[in-house]
């Protein structure tokens, strides 16, 4: 399984397995609920190359990973026993955090597991809209009806799914929670919707259509979770298997249809009415404020709080003006990434970051990598994202743009015309994207930021002197000094960006090249000291007298072999000479295990030097220079 080593690191840095109450994930974030957030090491987590940012918000410790989040989530579950059911009642009472934090945690935890299904079903509904608009099929066609069932099911039966996810959060039986939701949709109950004088044991009941509703099941399951815990304290253990669920169902379903359902429905309508009232007051102002605020709510992980309102509006009105405005924030962020990419030089740090995040934003509608990889790191970008999102939001608010299906805001939902009026939608997102890009290009980069936008070797070429170097190693650098790095492997040298690993290809782990070896032996690429030998023997580090820190990483993901097929010939602290054998590895074993042999040879502290000049690609031997490390002048 991929990412096991990374998963162990994450678990360690959040305080260990014993410190984790529960874990869920959304499109880009691992959302931990920790027993003691003080035991987590935020700085260490943020320093991991595969972690974009760490956010503590909404009662959750959120580790932002990006599109590969599900793989990391699966890996973590495989290496740690995590109580996914949530806190006990005592732990919940002791849990620190404001009421708003707890509310947001409940909403996020309830919807996060359902987001992929909701988004996928929303795209099916959007696709059907396109088919009917262009006459591909009609509303009565059997094909349409079958696909419509696929798209509608998760929304219609939402009380069931929420019953399950909510019960898990509160430590109750998830399927009893789902059963309470199912009872509200059962034909015997829905058959009472048109009946008169409905009662339960003489108590009047107002039948309500609970399909696609949210708030009633929220209230019902929260009450149910405490009821179940109370019953388990008084019912003998031998009888709990059937008696506790039986009593919970018999009590909760009537209470829900008599009390919690009508109350929850009224509450949902009031919340939606407040949002709509803001737009009724002034659509432009409401759109501008909501659009400008949305990126910052996303940064804090609070944007999921809009999901209940969105689903309620889709159910009540067939369209949601909240997402109709907030879509502009997505395109404003994409615009900023495009502007950063245009402004940056080839091979610069920011271009390597911006390129992939643009694609992720356009194709998936996931913009956290842009927020954390670009916007959060440059002070003017925060102002730009608010301005650009607000401009787009004001336009969409003026046109009263609505999102008519639950979708991620990407190129596919655009192509399927999921928004109306479509012309107003296009005007809003175009303005947001263009203003984000233009402000970034012409105003967003300060002189302090410019180094990240220059190619290696160009930083500081604007006439400014590099910052003074400190530390014993750095003080050894002579004016104009260069360090020649020889090929540690015989084989084919390739450009780093051609490596099929995002971390290495992006330059996050260091700069240099990679070699596809033809022989299973690593030799010293220069004189120096062995500074690191991995326990898994798949990588080795060398530091030169001039302070160049090199990493030779044999293969991709070969840490998973746990040392099998590798033999180290030196130890940490050993003095080595250029050409001295350091490591041997079994090429056939690595290939048979399914791992790539492509081996990055990196300068891990490249920012401490003026330039990394590639000397040769293609076939190389251990006697050839592959690149030169150019030191700053004093």
Active site residues per annotation: 26, 553
Long-range pairs of 348-351 with CB within 8 A, sequence gap ≥ 24: 348/452, 348/453, 348/454, 348/455, 348/456, 349/452, 349/453, 349/507, 350/374, 350/452, 350/453, 351/453
Q: Which residues on adjacent β-strands are paired with residue 601?
A: 513, 552
Q: Which helix (H) or strand (E) holds 134?
A: none
Axis crossing angle, helix 142-156 with helix 115-133, rounded to the nearest 10: 150
- Give the separation between CA 21 and CA 32, rounded to whole angstroms: 8
- Non-local (6+) Cβ contacts of 378 within 8 A are 444, 445, 446, 449
Measured in degrees and rounded to the nearest 5, phi and psi for residue 154 equal: -65, -30
State the residue for tokens 């995002």: 502
**Helix intervals (H) in 443-597:** 472-475, 502-505, 587-592
Distance of CA 177 to the CA centre of its chain: 28
Pair 553, 600: CB distance under 8 Å: yes
Per-state percent for the chain, helix, strand, coil, to nearest 5: 55, 15, 30
Positive/negative CA dihedral, 557, 562, 568, 572? positive
Of 507, 548, 511, residue with least CA distance to 527 = 548
Positive/negative CA dihedral, 127, 129, 134, 135? positive
Q: How far is CA 365 from CA 149, 302, 310, in A?
A: 25, 17, 17
Q: How many CB atoms lie within 10 A of CB 402?
A: 23
At 22 the three-state DSSP class reads: strand
At 67 the three-state DSSP class reads: coil
State the residue for tokens 């009508």: 262
Positive/negative CA dihedral, 445, 451, 454, 458? positive
Q: What DSSP state is assigned to residue 235?
A: S
- Non-local (6+) Cβ contacts of 3 within 8 A are 68, 71, 72, 74, 75
Q: Which helix (H) or strand (E) holds 464?
A: none
- Give the separation between CA 95 and CA 58, rounded to whole angstroms: 12
- Give the separation between CA 234 and CA 253, rounded to whole angstroms: 21
């Amino acid at each position: 399984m991929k990412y096991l080593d990374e998963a162990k690191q994450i678990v360690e840095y959040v305080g260990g397995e014993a410190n984790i109450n529960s874990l869920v994930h959304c499109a880009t974030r691992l959302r931990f609920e920790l027993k003691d957030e003080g035991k987590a090491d935020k700085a260490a987590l943020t320093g991991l190359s595969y972690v974009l940012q760490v956010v503590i918000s909404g009662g959750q410790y959120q580790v932002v990973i990006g599109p590969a989040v599900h793989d990391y989530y699966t890996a973590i579950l495989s290496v740690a026993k995590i109580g996914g059911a949530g806190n006990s009642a005592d732990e919940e009472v002791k849990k620190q955090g404001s009421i708003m934090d707890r509310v947001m945690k409940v909403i996020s935890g309830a919807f996060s597991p359902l987001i992929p299904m909701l988004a996928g079903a929303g795209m099916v509904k959007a696709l059907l809209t396109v088919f009917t608009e262009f006459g591909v099929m009609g509303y009565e066609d059997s094909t349409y009806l079958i696909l419509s069932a696929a798209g509608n099911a998760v929304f219609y039966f939402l009380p069931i799914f929420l019953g399950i996810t909510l019960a898990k959060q509160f430590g109750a039986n998830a399927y009893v929670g789902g059963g309470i939701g199912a009872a509200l949709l059962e034909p015997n109950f829905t058959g009472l919707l048109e009946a008169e004088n409905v009662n339960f044991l003489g108590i009047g009941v107002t039948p309500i259509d609970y399909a696609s509703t949210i708030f009633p099941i929220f209230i019902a399951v929260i009450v149910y979770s405490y009821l179940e815990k109370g019953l388990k304290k008084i019912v003998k253990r031998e009888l709990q298997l059937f008696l506790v669920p039986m009593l919970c169902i018999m009590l909760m379903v009537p209470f829900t249809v008599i009390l919690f359902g009508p109350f929850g429905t009224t509450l949902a309508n009031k919340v939606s009415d407040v949002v709509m009232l803001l737009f009724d007051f002034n659509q432009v102002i409401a759109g501008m404020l909501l659009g400008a605020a949305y990126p910052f709510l996303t940064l804090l992980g609070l944007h999921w709080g809009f999901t209940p309102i969105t689903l309620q509006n889709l159910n009540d009105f067939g369209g949601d003006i909240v997402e109709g405005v907030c879509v502009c924030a997505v395109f404003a962020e994409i615009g900023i990434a495009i502007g950063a990419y245009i402004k940056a030089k080839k091979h610069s740090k920011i271009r390597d970051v911006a390129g992939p995040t643009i694609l992720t934003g356009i194709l998936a509608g996931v913009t956290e990598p842009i927020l954390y990889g670009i916007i959060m790191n440059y002070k003017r970008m925060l102002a730009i994202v608010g301005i650009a999102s607000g401009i787009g939001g004001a336009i969409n608010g003026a046109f009263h743009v609505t999102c008519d299906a639950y979708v991620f805001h990407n190129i596919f939902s655009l192509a399927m015309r999921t928004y109306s009026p479509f012309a107003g939608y296009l005007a809003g997102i175009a303005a947001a994207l263009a203003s984000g890009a233009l402000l970034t290009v012409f105003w967003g980069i300060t002189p302090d930021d410019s180094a990240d936008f220059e190619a290696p070797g160009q930083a500081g070429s604007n006439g400014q002197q590099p910052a003074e170097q400190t530390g014993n190693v750095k003080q050894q650098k002579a004016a104009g000094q260069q360090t020649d790095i020889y090929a540690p492997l015989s084989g084919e040298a390739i450009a780093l960006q051609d490596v099929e690993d995002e971390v290495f290809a992006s330059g996050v782990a260091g700069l240099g090249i990679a070699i596809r070896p033809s022989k299973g032996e690593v030799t010293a690429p220069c004189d120096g000291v062995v500074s690191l030998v991995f326990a898994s023997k798949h990588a080795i580090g060398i530091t030169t007298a001039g302070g160049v820190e090199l990493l030779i990483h044999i293969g991709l993901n070969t840490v998973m072999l746990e040392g099998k097929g590798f033999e180290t010939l030196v130890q940490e602290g050993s003095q080595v000479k250029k050409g001295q054998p350091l490591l041997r590895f079994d090429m056939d074993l690595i290939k048979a295990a399914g791992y790539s042999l492509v081996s990055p040879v990196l300068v891990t502290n490249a920012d401490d030097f003026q330039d990394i000049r590639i000397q040769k690609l293609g076939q190389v031997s251990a006697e050839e220079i592959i690149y030169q490390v150019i030191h700053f002048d004093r």
